[in-house]
Amino acid sequence: MRIYADNAATTSLSPTAKAAMMPYFDDIYGNPSSLHTVGQIAKEALTDARRRIAAVLNCAEAEIYFTSGGSEADNQAIVSAARLGERGGKKHIISTAFEHHAVLHTLKELEKEGFDVTYLDVHGDGLITAEQVRETITDETCLVTVMYANNEIGTVQPIAEIGAVCREKGVVFHTDAVQAAGHLYIDVQRENIDMLSLSAHKFHGPKGIGVLYARRGIRLTNLIHGGAQERGKRAGTENIPAIMGMAAALEEAAAHIEENAAKTAALRDRLIAGIGKIPHAALNGDAEHRLPGNVSFCFEGIEGESLLLLLDDKGVCASSGSACTSGSLDPSHVLLAIGRPHEVAHGSLRLTIDHNTTKEEADYIIDAVTDVVASLRAMSPVWRDLRNGKRDYII
Ligand SMILES: *Cc1c(COP(=O)(O)O)cnc(C)c1O
């Protein structure tokens, strides 16, 4: 048996998305830049995908740029806003301490160039407020970049409110919506979003394809130079099969967004209640403003890595921290940002389910986690010290 509970790392390809891709591997292999019929058929498909994706996000086709994924979209959004700011003498950026590394590492590069970045403190519940953004904006601020939903603890930020503050102050607002797209209803107009990143493989589309939405009037800076694809802003022959798969996956997700979210959230809450019965376990992030599929816990007295390996033996695919940080012994920057001390942050578990997860699977996961935590604690010297009162419980 295998239960996949790592949908924040990547998702399965939906059969609909796969079927939408197949013709573009076979008959419709043209290059959209070619003037002949084979190329023009591919170009029509490209235009159609752009129109369908724009419709889901409620923006114009000309505001959609295809990229190689979420990381590239984040990089291009941030660099573009920075270059625009720099031209107007503005070199201050506002972000948060718990962004994805695609955002954080891009900001670090800009800091080396002399940009000043304020990382807003995330509250213990894993949320920031629009008020914090308002208080931090100065005349020098050229960009606010705040993720829509966190990939580790699943908290969903008040994006529309932050967008309203940025619009009022005339500051460009970017959101990394990679975890939210296809899972939460997004409307870039209503939420005052100027730039947004998404990635198909996080909503049952293919890997290696994403979108940067940039509102008309925001001039993008090229990261990749070459041909005139994507209105000259992103060179390289378009990955038509992946683009068609992404459009199909996004439309499919959007069509079922409410029922999928309700079904997934019910199982999420079942998992949270079941795992929450384990002593000295604490849910990470707010229970309410949370992605429908995210369950994230810290357990006192154990190591997240051993937890994952033993869960894998029981057929449960889970994660601690983010996929990019596993393999390193540093505790997750997200858990540290919400104030978890190092020793507790090490004992973390992230389960990310989706609408394909069943009640039986959720119950199996609860039993497996309960067993594994108990057996690891039975071997843990830290746990013995906690039990003997030689050490104080943190959670
Ligand atoms: C997965 C992820 C990314 C990176 O997307 P890729 O398409 O894998 O490059 C960026 N931000 C968040 C929040 C993510 O979860």
> Is the C-beta atom of 151 inside 6 A of ligand 1?
yes
In a domain, 8, yes or no: no
**Domain annotation covers residue 394:** no
Give the domain-ending residue among 203, 223, 255.
255
Do 176 and 98 lie in one domain? The reply is yes
Residue 331's pLDDT is 85
Spatial separation of the C-alpha atoms in residues 347 and 28, rounded to whole Å: 49
Q: Are 169 and 183 in the same domain? A: yes
Is residue 324 annotated as part of the catalytic site, yes or no? yes
Domain count, the chain: 2
Question: Which residue CA neighbors atom 14 of ligand 1 most closely?
Answer: 178
Residues 87 and 216 in one domain: yes
Domain of 177 in residue numbering reads as 15-255
Q: Are residues 43 and 163 in the same domain?
A: yes
pLDDT on residue 328: 58
- Whether 311 maps to a domain, the answer reads yes
pLDDT of residue 1: 85
The model carries a pTM of 0.97
- If asked whether residues 107 and 245 sit together in one domain, one would say yes
In this structure, the answer to whether residues 306 and 316 fall within a common structural domain is: yes
Specify the CATH number for the domain of residue 380: 3.90.1150.10
Shared-domain flag, residues 83 and 188: yes
pLDDT of residue 325: 47
For the Cβ of 152 lying below 6 angstroms from any atom of ligand 1, the answer is no
Low pLDDT (below 70) residues in the chain: 321-329
Residue 117 sits in the same domain as residue 151: yes
Please give the Cα distance from 337 to 350 (Å, whole number): 16
Paired tokens of 189: 């107009």
For residue 150, the CA-to-ligand 1 centroid distance in Å is 10
Whole-number pLDDT of residue 71 = 98
Name which residue sits closest to atom 6 of ligand 1, judged by CA.
70
Whether 187 is in a domain gets the answer yes
Closest CA to 6 of 393, 331, 354, 260: 354
Interatomic CA distance for residues 206 and 11, integer angstroms? 9
Is residue 29 situated within a structural domain? yes
User: Would residue 379 count as lying in a domain?
Assistant: yes
At 248 the pLDDT is 98
